[in-house]
Structure 1
Amino acid sequence: MLRDWKFEIQLDEQSNKAIYLQIADAIVTDIQSGRLKTGDALPGSRNLAQLLKVNRNTVVEALNVLLIEGWLVSKERQGTFVANTLPDFKEVQKGKQLTATSKNTKNKHYHLQFDDGHPDSKIAPITELARAYRQLFNQKGRWQMMGYSNEYGHLEFCKAIVQMLNHQRGMQVGEQNICITRGSQMAMYLTAQCLFTKGDYVLIENPGYKPAWKAFENAGAKLLPVNVDKDGLLIEEVTTYLKSGKKIKAIYVTPHRQYPTTVTLSLKRRLELIRLSNKYGFTIIEDDYDNEFHFGYRPILPLSSFTELKNYVYIGTMSKVVAPALRIGYLVSNDDVLIEKTGDLRKIIDVQGDSIMEQAVLQLIKDGTIKRHIKKATNYYKIKRDFMATVLNKHIVSKATYTLPEGGLAFWMEPHKPVDWLQVSRELESKGINIITPDAYSFNETINGIRLGYGSLSEKELEEGIMELAKLL
């Protein structure tokens, strides 16, 4: 055992080589030099991250590279060890070259991809959107559209989104509370930069949405994971953190359909979370990424619709409704100072949004196209969800647990037995099938569940993908 192994490396942030690859290559060098021998145990990823003063996820990425290449092996509940049989270095170098070039061409290698819940672009209202653009450019005074507009978004479009939030999601906001962004990830970034200062703590769901975590860390915040069960976020863990003396600035939640598990935060826990937010003064960042597609009676109202909640940021998107390529998101807050900061930062990095696109989508809202499309798409995805359930019942029911989601575009599945997802991923890749492995949403130890998006796949693709996955469970 070599837990006290001293790792000597100078990381170069200016290098063209990513930090995680610098770490991986340094470990390989120590293995080749004999400083690390076969069977030796590496320090835990958390300890290694502290030693190198890098994000723990960076260390995890480095270790994953070495696990894939065969330099290391992972033993359940024991740790990570130098492999007994080491790979041929020349072959590994060839593999690295392929990996470096494949990041930009990854999609070309798969004929079937289980994403994390993307919509089907084939049913997007493209014809109607094109018509709206033509009408805009044919109207009188069209040159007025070509100038600068407001950093918070086109005013009439803001009013339309506010009206939707108030009428359909039970919120009580005005156009002064909203900022239109280029997708929900930009909304997340703006929120993080305007809310956090270095040393603040943010509570996050575990498993959860890593792109949001990266936005928070980039703003200097530190992540504290809170586990999730069938009723959503574990409030007792939230309470423990709040009583620990740490400076908890915010909590990031996906209460409507938790990402990635799809569970809904229970009413009892919602009310308790709101009470804690008001008592301790932390902000609830609510990501309502999947609100539109709901197959039950009606979607659950957001936490941000509760009038007693004092500090919130509500983030939503229209990209899934219209088309993913059209980046339209928004953030809403009852904190006037935060909204003002958001506008100021927006002007620095982007000046304004795509005013012409906002006006085109506004036209689709006004003429009823968006409403009709959501109704049509909801029926379309419900049929596809039911087919996915049929396929799972046929091929996977004896091997894994899953529930029928009441909305959204993905299933959450947990195998009955532990699964080596890295190996499963390799096997599926050899058949031209891609999955998102659980380390994409795990904070610490990789969980045994997997999120399977079905919205963008045909019935034939769903059947093929599930059949091949079933063989490996």
Structure 2
Amino acid sequence: MIRPWKLELEVDKKLGKAVYLQIADTIIKDIKSGRLQPGDALPGSRNLSLLLGLNRNTVVAAYQVLTNEEWVEPKERQGIFVSDKLSALQLGVKKSKTESKKKTESNTALLINFDDGHPDSKIAPITELARVYRQIFDRKAKWQMMGYVDPSGDAEFRRVLSKMLNHQRGMHINEDEIFITRGSQMAMFLTAQSLLKPGDYVVVENPGYMPAWNAFNHAGAQLLPVSVDEEGLIVEEIIGHLKQNKNIKAIYITPHRQYPTTVTLSLARRLKLIELSNEYGITIIEDDYDNEFHFGYRPILPISSFPELNNYVYVGTMSKVVAPALRIGYLATADHSLLNKIADLRKIIDVQGDVIMEQAVLQLIKEGAVKKHIKKATVHYRNKRDFVFSLLEKYLKNTADFKLPDGGLAFWIKPKANLNWDVVTNLLLEHNVKIIHPVRYSFEGSLVNGFRLSYGSLSEEQLEHSIKIIADIINSQK
């Protein structure tokens, strides 16, 4: 994303005003004067700190003041922008009711939304889940579930989950090495807070998954981006970082189907990552976010399944398997010291998870309902994937590069021409089609000329209608 605005500031330490407040007040002045307009993007905190020759934490503090006072607003996986709410202040007039109505109608008319890769809730086993949920409350010993339990999650549920991971994903863990969370993002947050401290560094994929980056940043860690090619994370770049930095604590990866590009990390690079992890004592945080839906012979086994790997945290979710609204994630690690820290932190923010829902999902697993659903869903998504591929071949074959993924719920589309994605996304919105802006995958606004086209939650009619629109707009911008 282009951020042409440059902060004109000479720090005066004799003023008696904190430097971060000088930065904040200078930006407010530029907003009031009109140099910065509503919706304008501000530089990333790292870039601005380098420009000013200041500590990054000083810039972060300034941005926090501006956010608290509503001069700017952070947008998830995009950056920090001058607040749109300041338009009336800038223009000196209030928006008419007609303009407000048009804006509201435009926002509510987003008929087709290409999300990160959500599953199809219409095929979720809701009836079965509701049935076992009611059965749990009919048990004679139901009162035993109404009290506090282990913050790690229901013991039997963890035992069954460990068997599933060992059997289907080649892991070597027991129930004491699994921790149940309210979704995979909570697992990522707890891991980051318990593993990292200010001054630590985390290697991340670029393009990559920004919610995980946010969790690492919140723990005080700094990120080191590493590029991705057709074989996944480029290990040579990690080696370059290791030569220059002694405080690399973790490497965050999505090796099975890299987010967002869907490529699989090659075996040679997996083995090299294990070697580097063991040599430098670095923890590999493996996010296996969509392992269940695989259309080939079998999913690639996780890096965490290699017995040679000493330090790992494996993160997964049940939300895609049963229902999107079901918030059950988990992490697995052989590091019991780390698990104890995670348990202590969990007690502060959330004494325990949803034990009754864990019991319900456990019952579905025992009955074979989850296995049956995964089998049914895999056929459903394979057919939908093939349908989308035929549409891409029809409408985008000569305009963009794409491959048939062997699993997951999304394609990675890379236009052959470099596009202005601000223009493309706005034109799509005018046609009631919403895609994720590529800047939301990129590290501090670095250029990503591609987008993730998810298909799991959309109907065939929506997919054909929207892909044709996408193709028309991309062709018009070449």
TM bracket (short chain): 0.7 to 0.9
Q: Does 1:461 align with 2:462?
A: yes
Q: Judge conservation of contact 2:73–2:82 (CA < 8 Å) in 1.
A: no
Q: Is the 8 A contact 2:235 2:269 kept in 1?
A: yes
Aligned to 1:342, the other structure's residue is in SS state: helix
Task: Tell me the secondary structure at the aligned position of residue 261 of structure 1.
Answer: coil
Q: Match of 1:6?
A: 9
**1:418–1:174: structure 2 CA closer, same or farther, 3 Å change rule?**
same
Between the aligned residues of both structures, percent identity stands at 56
* TM alignment of 1:240-389, pairs within 5 A: 240-389=240-389
Matched ranges for 1:55-94 at <5 A: 89-90=90-91, 94=95
Corresponding residue of 2:67? none
For 1:426 and 1:285, the matched residues in 2 are separated by 35
Tell me the secondary structure at the aligned position of residue 204 of structure 2. Answer: strand
Q: How does 1:388-399 map to 2 (within 5 A)?
A: 388-399=388-399
For the residue of structure 1 that corresponds to 2:443, the secondary structure is coil
CA gap 1:449/1:24 in 2 versus in 1, 3 angstroms = farther
* C-alpha contact 1:4 1:43 (8 A) present in aligned 2: no
**CA distance in 2: counterparts of 1:402 and 1:56, whole angstroms:** 42
State the Cα distance separating 1:197 from its structure 2 match: 0.8
Aligned partners of 1:185, 1:441: CA distance in 2, in Å? 16
CA–CA distance in structure 1, aligned partners of residues 305 and 124 of structure 2: 29
Q: CA deviation at 1:423?
A: 1.0
1:427 aligns with 2:427: yes
Structure 2 residue identity aligned to 1:228: V
Query: Compared with structure 1, are the counterparts of its residues 27 and 411 closer, same or farther at alpha carbon in structure 2 (3 Å cutoff)?
Result: farther
Deviations 1:284-331 (A, max 9, x none): 000000100000000000000000000000000000001111100001
- 2:291–2:299: 8 Å Cα contact kept in structure 1? yes
Q: Does the alignment pair 1:147 with 2:147?
A: yes
- Cα distance in structure 2, aligned partners of 1:93 and 1:441: 35
1:234 has 2:234 as partner = yes
2:452 maps to 451
Q: Structure 2: how far apart are the matches of 1:91 and 1:322?
A: 51
Task: Give, in whole Å, the separation in 1 of the partners of 2:239 and 2:304.
Answer: 20
SS in 1 for 2:407: coil
| Shift in CA distance, 87/133, structure 1 to aligned 2, threshold 3 Å | closer
Which letter maps to 1:5?
Answer: E
Mapped pair 1:53 → 2:59: yes
Matches within 5 A, 1:115-130: 115-130=115-130
User: What do the CA deviations read for 1:217-274 (whole angstroms, capped 9, x no partner)?
Assistant: 1011000000000000000000011111330000000000000000000000000000
**TM-score normalised by the chain length of structure 2:** 0.84
- Give yes or no for contact 1:49–1:55 (8 Å, CA) kept in 2: no
- SS at the partner of 1:243? helix
Deviation at 1:87, TM superposition (A): 12
Shift of 1:113: 0.5
| Preserved CA contact (<8 Å) 1:183 1:317 | yes
Query: Aligned equivalents of 1:205 and 1:467: distance in 2?
Result: 31
Give 1:64 deviation, angstroms: 6.7
**Alignment length (residue pairs):** 442
Q: How many angstroms does 1:448 deviate by?
A: 0.4
Where in structure 1 do 4 or more consecutive aligned residues deviate above 6 Å?
7-14, 42-45, 55-60, 62-69
Residues 170 and 2 (structure 1), Cα distance of their counterparts in 2 relative to 1, 3 Å cut: closer
Partner of 1:78: none
Which stretch has the larger CA shift, 215-224 or 1-10? Answer: 1-10
Q: Which structure 2 segments of 5+ residues have no match? A: 53-57, 65-71
Structure 1 range deviating more: 445-454 or 262-271: 445-454
